């Protein structure tokens, strides 16, 4: 893991808790996180590295796609089980 450094004094920074609803919302929708420097007292937002962002984005996309596929398969299974037995045969006979 790479260390992040304070833009004011150059020392290492550590993660800081979000303050209030606006900061939590900002943190939820961006790759930025709040950091604090013990040496100079600076507090601000720094972004994640591009590698971490890509990895996180890829995991999110894969998770969403798998969830959609599984949900679709379950829905199709339920629809098939709940449909009357003869309804699919009747549709095939009418098409001929």
The answer to whether residue 92 is domain-embedded is no
Verify that 26 and 36 share a domain, yes or no: yes
Verify that 1 and 42 share a domain, yes or no: yes
Verify that 37 and 78 share a domain, yes or no: no
Instruction: Tell me how far CA of residue 95 lies from CA of 5, 17, 68, 86, 88, in angstroms.
Output: 70, 64, 31, 15, 11
Verify that 1 and 44 share a domain, yes or no: yes
Condensed to tens digits (0 to 9), the pLDDT of residues 60-73 reads 899 999 999 999 99
Higher pLDDT residue, 85 or 80?
80
Verify that 10 and 39 share a domain, yes or no: yes
CA distance 84 to 43: 64
Verify that 43 and 58 share a domain, yes or no: no
Condensed to tens digits (0 to 9), the pLDDT of residues 29-76 reads 887 888 999 999 999 888 766 556 677 788 889 999 999 999 999 999
Higher pLDDT residue, 52 or 13?
13
The separation between CA 41 and the C-alpha centre of its own chain, rounded to angstroms, equals 31
> How many domains does one find in the chain?
2
The answer to whether residue 96 is domain-embedded is no
> Range of 79's domain?
49-86
- List residues bridging with 33 in a β-sheet: 46
Q: What is the pLDDT of residue 56?
A: 78
The reply to whether the predicted model has a pTM over 0.85 is no
Please give the order of strands across the beta sheet that includes 14-15: 14-15, 32-36, 43-47
């Amino acid at each position: 893991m790479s260390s992040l450094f304070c833009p004011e004094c150059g020392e290492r920074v550590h993660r800081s808790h979000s303050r209030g609803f606006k900061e939590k919302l900002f943190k939820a929708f961006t790759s930025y996180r709040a950091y604090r420097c013990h040496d100079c007292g600076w507090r601000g937002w720094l972004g994640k590295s591009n590698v971490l962002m890509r990895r996180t984005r890829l995991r999110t996309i894969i998770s969403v796609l798998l969830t959609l596929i599984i949900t679709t398969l379950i829905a199709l299974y339920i629809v098939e089980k709940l449909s009357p037995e003869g309804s699919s045969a009747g549709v095939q006979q009418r098409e001929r």
